[in-house]
Chain A
Amino acid sequence: MRLMRGWRRWLPGLLVLTTAATVCAQQPDPAKVEFFEKKIRPILAGHCYACHSADTKPAGGLRVDDRNGMIVGGNTGPSIVPGKPEESRLLKRVTQEGKRKMPLEGEHLSAQELADLTSWIKDGAAWPAIRMPASFGKPKPKYEQLKRDHWAFKPLTKPQPPTVSNTSWPVDDVDKFVLAKLEAKGLKPVGDADRVTLIRRVTFDLTGLPPTPEEIDNFVRDKNPQAFANVVDRLLASPAFGERWGRHWLDVARYGESTGPSRNIPYPHAWRYRNYVIDSVNADVPFDQFIREQIAGDLLPASNDNERNRLLTATGFLALGPKDVNQRFKVRFLMDNVDEQIDVVSRSTLGLTVACARCHDHKFDPIPTSDYYALAGIFTSTDNAAGLRNQMGGAGLAYYVPDMLVRLKGSIAPADPKEVARLTAEVAKAKEAWDNIRGTPEGLKRGPNGQPVQRPVRLKYEGLQAELLALTDPAQKGLAAHGIRDAKLIADTEVRVRGEAEKLGPVVPRGFVTAFEVPGTSSINREQSGRLELAQWITSPKNPLTSRVAVNRVWQRLFATGLVSTVDNFGTTGDVPSHPELLDHLAGKFVQDGWSLKRLVRSLVLTRAYQLSAEGSAKQLATDPANRLVWRHAPRRLAAEEYRDAVLVIAGTVEKGRPTDTAAQHLKMIEIRDNGPEAKAIHEASDRSRVRSVYLPLLRGLTPRALEVFDPVEQTLVTGAREETTVPGQALFLLNSTFVRKQSLAFAERLLADSKTNDTDRVRSIYRQALGREPGDAEVKTVLAFLDNYASTYVPPAAPVEKAKPDAKPKAAAEPPPDPDQADQAGVAIVEEVIRPKDARTAAWLAFAQAVYASAEFRFVR
């Protein structure tokens, strides 16, 4: 049932969508507020605050010193339903007879107090609003000027391709835009890349993998004028395209398989969202639809269960953010999650830092706080169904709420009802025992083993609970996803003064960012959260930002730097486009082509600009050292995933295709510590794994060791552009890591196993496979000399040494397992595996293969 907030009942005229800068913010009825202050607050303060307030504690997760605290309620659900005393748990708990009657200590409520409380709820549960500054909701001259003047808020233009002097150079309109800028600066583009360089470049760019020697040979020999287009089409059709470009979106979507800070709780179903992204890219789902699915998939029509599941999974975008589950207060937990959702949506799709307006009007962009809370109302009307709740402290499954996951369609064999009944009864019994002993002086006493007496009681309860869940929780059978759904309570929300969750300002109607106009926007369906209309507003062809931000991201992936270099920030503190007309040309064409990522990528890599050589030239370097005008192709370092994948492919050890199983999906939603056994198991699973890097477990804070040193994405933030460093830590990884050594050995052994060939051909083969080219004669000679020299000098490595972090001390056997809250965060023992080639010759080939893997030529794409 949909519930209405009290304030809306008083003011039906409020049901108007506002897109103007002024806000129809409403103050509560003064008479009702007076009643609250005189009659109700004293009841709450006198009878309840001792256990249910910010100053004391939120017992059972409930706070009654805050209106929203009562509406969202505690662990058992909402405490009040404004307008509906009969549905309000608060009244039940203070009137029911028995030992749980509230308050547990002190006097119970008088008949008059009960009557007042009932009529207050019936009347809408009025609460005083905080007075807002006089400037609140009023147009600001500075904002009005920015709305008019800032380039990114202006509607898309349809620029004509410029005329250029060198008419023979361009092969596409894009080239004309590029060349015109170069000519204006008196610059010329460098020559075209050679074919070997080009196919290596485009294969890495489109699939994140190196081309095979056969693919290179075929392309080099192919005299067909369509040869390059054919290569591109082959790559676009390959499943590896989705693995590479899906990963790009996962960077932007701050994808991670756990909550991250404070208490790191796994998201065991996150892999479904990852697969959804990869599959959608491979199916070339139009980008506008792709965005709509991720913001409002649950509200879109589906023709069958598979489609429904796909759309529900898409909403993982909004649920898989970092979360502070250790937050004491539910209202703060909810508002922090809403903030995270606003941030990821606004930065990923619009390139705007809307979240800056949570506490105050945006300092640089025309985004008032009222816009923020207009969006916040959409997300407070949405359940963040990640499967979690907030809790201050707690172990085991304390944070897991099975009902707060999104159920997928499908059937599982029902569990044996007898067994379920038996376990349910046992769990109830165990819970009672736990509730009775928990925190009592008796329970906290130390037993003979030094542990609190209550500990085994808790463990028994948790064990039985887990057993019951294993039978009854569909999530454990895999029929669940982390996602979102419309909340039971659909309502506009209040401004939170200075961003403090409890400080309620006026209610603002749900709506969108008002910094720019999107003609034809539909108003929000009052029966729903408004995510569908938000998604439609974002993906409207008339939205000036979405298509620009999207094509700019694609440009950056192919040309190293975005036309707007700050790919996640199109606001006034961001960069201005180097080629504004080209940006609009691409955005317009993208929309016209049905928001097809594949068509956009195809058209860009077929430009002459993309196919330039990476050659430097003194004049250009002096005039435009950063290559903003695209006079050459910018060489780039392989990304972390590309490096690992290329090493595996060339060693011949890669497991092709998608794994059916990952280590992360078997984790329970129980906190994992960096130095705990689960973390160790995840690291070891990643170390062992030979699947493509996009499929590795990616729990926040547990970056796979084979990716760690190569600037992998920061998983908690929207990241459109990664760092690209070359530090000694990378050199140490290349020289000493188990991963590189092991793959080098595999590569060497594979070559040596072929007895029909000779060493010169083996050297050639390594060059062709890893670097895509034939070695020169001098290079072969150098390598052969190295191999001889190395083999004759070789001594086998010493016995393995267990290397522990300096302060990782072994625990005494008698020591009780630590309380999770007091856990020692010292590092885990690091055992570095020693790779042992079987003889000196293999060792020499290993060393050579490793040298190739370490070489700059292998690690860069030119």
Chain B
Amino acid sequence: MQENIYTMGVDVGGSYVKAVLMAYDYEGDNHRLLDKQTEKIRKRNPREVVDETVEMVLNRNHLNYERDISYLASTGEGEMVVRKTGHFYSMTSHARGGIFFATEAKTVVDMGGLYVRAIKVDPRGKVLDYKMTGQCASGSGQFIENISRYLGLAVEEVGEISLKADNPEVPSGICAVLAETDVINLVSKGLSTPNIVKGINISIAQRVIKLLGSLRAEPPVVLVGGMGMNVGMIQAIRELAAENKKNNLEFATHPDAIYSGAIGAALWGGFRYFKLKEKNAAAVLQPA
């Protein structure tokens, strides 16, 4: 029996490094996600964080980079990934990652640290069209992190706490600075933390719904990226879609949503590896 082929995807974002290990059978017909790892960059050198994260995954699986990894694909800040076979643009990777989570998806919404992108995709994960949020950061995961720090919450708690809201108040959706001022006012007015957090999730969800409208998005929609794991955000998006009579938009999610870029990169890496293999095999068969 032939051994597995392994590819890795490494997605370097503004705050986190995400790495995944993908295994293929020898012919490349089937793939499965073997392992995954997230590391917060904090104030460390991102290149070192990337190396540590990749090593962590390799060691856990008793693999060696030079010997066992057929393709290491970077995405995001690719120059931070020194050991790599190739690089894939971020949107291309997230689109493919979205299809990995929901094979029927026609729209992938990448909700990352710095912006939100709505991407129309074909069944192979090829990008057909896209829209992304404008300049202000109030539509980004980084904004949620800032606010959660201000409220004394861990960013992972934001989703669950949001579900407890009974009377949310929505801050400015135009500008992150205005929104932060609004949040300070809401705290001093005595509004409960769940209602503040839900309001923020609604504010970002409004942007997502607007993007989907301008893209003329088709269902099903899959929500990926770090904010795709925020259950409060997902609830807000579903509620707003219903209010806006966009009930036809089914929203799929996945607990590994934060890995969509890394997964997409690993899959594109695998695609490229097997294509090149096929090409080389054909060249060998050609008469000299």
Does A associate with B in a complex? no
Listed in ascending order, the chain A residues whose CB lies under 8 Å from chain B are: none
Listed in ascending order, the chain B residues whose CB lies under 8 Å from chain A are: none
